[in-house]
Amino acid sequence: METFQIPINENVKKDIYRSIQNGLSDMEDFSLREKLTFQNGFPQLKWAYIFTRLFHGLHIENGEVLRGKRGPWPLVMIYDEATSYLYVVIEKEKF
């Protein structure tokens, strides 16, 4: 896998990573708490938790966290005003 330099504040990178991890943990907690026998829709549920954590948990000093869509799918966009970059968190297979 290639390594890329992402010109965004290191604390924001850490917050993004933490939000993703917390979203996955939230999904796992939900599954265990509800004692789900079937896991239909888990891929969408996983992203609902991740995007919720990103949307409500990221605080970008010089930017915004926005809701967006790619086709019918909702997603979170992270805009950095300092670089004018727009970041979107998606799975590699969906790119």
User: What pLDDT digit, counting tens, does each position of 43-80 carry?
Assistant: 889 999 999 999 999 988 889 999 999 888 899 999 99
What is the predicted pLDDT for the residue at 52? 96
Residue 62 tokens, joined:
């010089």
Give percent of the chain above pLDDT 90.
53
pLDDT value, residue 40: 87
Model pLDDT, residue 20: 95
Place of tokens 């330099």: 5
Q: What is the pLDDT of residue 8?
A: 84
Helix 42-57, helix 10-34: angle, nearest 10: 140
> Is residue 7 scored above 90 in pLDDT?
no
Using an 8 Å Cβ cutoff, are 25 and 44 in contact?
no
Say how far apart CA 35 and CA 71 lie, in whole Å.
32
